[in-house]
Structure 1
Amino acid sequence: MRRRQAGPVEAARPVGRSGEGQGRVASGVAHGNWLTRGKDGRLTLYAPADGGLLRWTETTAGGPDWSGPHFVAVPGLTQLTVVQGADGYVHFLGRRERTKADGSPNVDIVHAIQYQTGLAFTDWRSLGTPHPDGDVGRPAGAVAQDGTVHVFVRGGHGGLMLRREAPNGKWRAWEDLHGGGLDGPPAVVVLASGRMEVCAAAGTGVLIWRQSAPGGDFGGPRGFSLRAAPGTLAAAETAPDRATFFWTEADSGVAAAWRIGGWPAMLGGSAAERPYAVLRTDLDGYDCLVLAYRDQDGSPVLGMGGTENEEAGFWWYALAEPCQGGPALARDGRGRVVMALIDPDGTPKVARQEDGAGLSLTHWHRL
């Protein structure tokens, strides 16, 4: 596996002075896995803020106390996506928009890394853009098992564009993966075999790109006559080298789970506004999937069911707790399910799995 090297200062210095982010609040919700667990078992929560992003970190694995917020300045940041690799490194992908001297927008995709829980970010590096006129969507990302970062964006032609690292750490040029009519960013999953699969919704149905081997080219897109609501796609590996894709079914407005070669299974629930948060975990000795989303009334909904056992039913629980954007899911250092939200006032809050059978959550803790 290719190993990254952090500089001697970046590896030892925390972000800013203690309390630097005090008084700041989140301006929205990040995309991707914005609630991460480090190698030391501590959780970290990230959220966009005016002029950059905010970070809160557990002081000990399993909580309940958190430090932060710490503020990281990223002038011009308009979209933030967080992804984490198997090595524990957290990667930040952003859409940055600044103004040129002539008043026209200058848009690019930027990337930074946090190597260790609670410590500094690397410098933000520009990855450019496949469309200099600024017509580029929110970035989606994934980290391959060898640590190479893959960045996907919807291009100005409505298809999918990719920029990825080479094994030597240098960035390749933008690649056109083709397709057209994409309604939003794709869902990307890294499988245990090392391959990636990408799913996107389009006006004509659902499009799939697949790697034939780890690090290889992406074949596709292959189209399927399925109706996924734009902006609701998520993905998870649910069996060795097999992905399940989740979305809100456009016609019925309920959650659906689908694997290549089969028909979508309707899971119930209500219509989601953004991608589902997906967590595979053990509940009472059973291999289960936990889903969470924000419904159209602005409240979070939590659901659970057996992994690849949709016919046995899926159970949903509406939570009377307003939030903006979608929720996040993770397991803490004690293995408990943790759900995170951003309150409408910009304050994050978390609830943890209570002891006992099933999945019930504690009272919300505001950070």
Structure 2
Amino acid sequence: MTGTATGTWLTLGRDGRLTAYAPAGGGLLRWTETRPGGPGWSGPDLVEIRNLTHLAIVQGADAYVHFLGRRERPRGDGAVEVDVVHAIQYQSGRPVTEWRSLGNPHPQPDRARRFGAPAGAVASDGTVHVFAPNAGGGLMMRREGRGGRWEPWADLRGTDVRDGLAAAATSDGRVEVFAPAGGAALHWFQPEPAAEPQRSHDVRPGPAAGSVAALETAPGRLTYFWTDPAGGGLICHRRGGWSVPLGGTPGDGANAVLRTVLDGYDCTVIAHRGRSGTVLVGVCATEAESSGLWWTDTGLACAGDPALAHDGRGRVVVAAFDPGGTLRVARRVPGPGLVLGEPAPV
């Protein structure tokens, strides 16, 4: 294992089984529940793909899991060839499709080497959208067109765009992307399904590297959560509104977000690695973040970023890799609020 993937590295299949993924030397590792709700797991199985520097995972409404990688292949003349690769897993535990290269929009080798890490989103019609920073600090997009044919790379422009993009799809068929850019974040959105993404207003303060997460908190409306690099805790933002400070003590790394029902209330759950190195879980009423979050330290030592999902029985699940590389999973147990059971090794 060589870290954690970005995006959704813990997924729920149509058959009700959870699958966890992690990048590793020579490819990616995959653990799969043996039955819905666990507790047994199989794996890890190795899915081979060499020379990846970055792995992003995104799941569509059809439950297909898409893998996006940034690949650096050394050439005989000493140069390095950089491209983005894509593969799909259609069912839990089943083989992954052949990896397909989506290329690189830069024909010049020196600029091609500076092409950034991809992020993706799958629209409700199944169209895959891939985003990545280009060598000039702008944002590039490539998407799958009709009949499975990929459109050329499109330049969405922008300034000082950096790695750590967050792309997400809404239930009304649109895709948005939130991009760190120095002291701000740049935001693009589709005004309607299949449209070219348009630039929205810049958002300040900008996020700490790799910390942005997106969650649909109302039909067609995304809320973005990220860590303030100035040490001010969490921040959330919805398009058309102001950024709201939420406090907390997140460490570096990503925030995981999940919407669920607790005690009959629509709630948002946030998980991240705290400054002490353990997984912290916060809960608030959905779209009422300013009223406060209730935090719990799970005590689970975490290397990399935690993940959140529902299992096949509808329970909230928190997953993380401990410092020894063991995958550990904690599930909600009966009782008021969000109470998690003891994290179990997989």
Interval of TM-score (by shorter of Structure 1 and Structure 2): over 0.9
Residue 236 of structure 1 aligns to a residue in which SS? strand
Task: Work out the CA distance in 2 between the residues paired with 1:107 and 1:200.
Answer: 21
Identity across matched positions, percent: 52
Letter in 1 for 2:188: W
Displacement of 1:167 after TM fit?
2.1
Aligned ranges for residues 192-271 of structure 1 at < 5 Å?
192-271=171-250
CA contact (8 A) 1:338 1:353 kept: yes
Residue type of the partner of 1:49?
A
Matches within 5 A, 1:1-367: 26-131=1-106, 132=109, 133-367=112-346
Q: Secondary structure at the match of 1:320?
A: strand
Q: Is the 8 A contact 2:212 2:255 kept in 1?
A: yes
SS at match of 2:202: strand
Matched residues in 2 for 1:55 and 1:64: separation?
16
Asked if structure 1 preserves the Cα contact closer than 8 Å seen for 2:83 and 2:102, the reply is yes
Once residues 251 and 116 of structure 2 are traced to their aligned partners in structure 1, the CA distance between those partners, rounded to angstroms, is 20
Aligned residues: 342
- SS in structure 2 at match of 1:29: coil
2:155 aligned partner, one-letter code: D
**What is the letter of the counterpart of residue 115 of structure 1?**
Y
User: Structure 2 stretches of 5 or more lacking a match?
Assistant: none
CA contact (8 A) 1:293 1:326 kept: yes
User: What is the CA–CA distance in structure 2 between the aligned matches of 1:227 and 1:128, rounded to whole Å?
Assistant: 29
SS state of the match for residue 311, structure 1? Answer: helix
Question: What residue identity is the alignment partner of 2:242?
Answer: W
Distance 1:185 1:252, change over 3 A: closer
How far is 1:204 from its partner? 4.6
Q: TM-score, structure 1 length as denominator? A: 0.90
Deviations 1:20-74 (A, max 9, x none): xxxxxx2211111010000010000011111111111001100000011111111
Q: Distance in 2 between matches of 1:102 and 1:214?
A: 44
Write the letter of the residue equivalent to 1:110: V
Q: Any gaps of 5 or more consecutive residues in structure 1?
A: 1-25
**TM-score, L = length of structure 2:** 0.95
- SS for the counterpart of 1:173 is coil
User: How far off its partner does 1:221 sit?
Assistant: 4.9
The more displaced of 270-279 and 144-153 is 270-279
* Alpha-carbon distance between aligned partners in 2 of 1:115 and 1:234, rounded to the nearest angstrom: 24
**Contact 2:5/2:22 (8 A) holds in 1:** yes
RMSD of aligned Cα (Å): 1.4
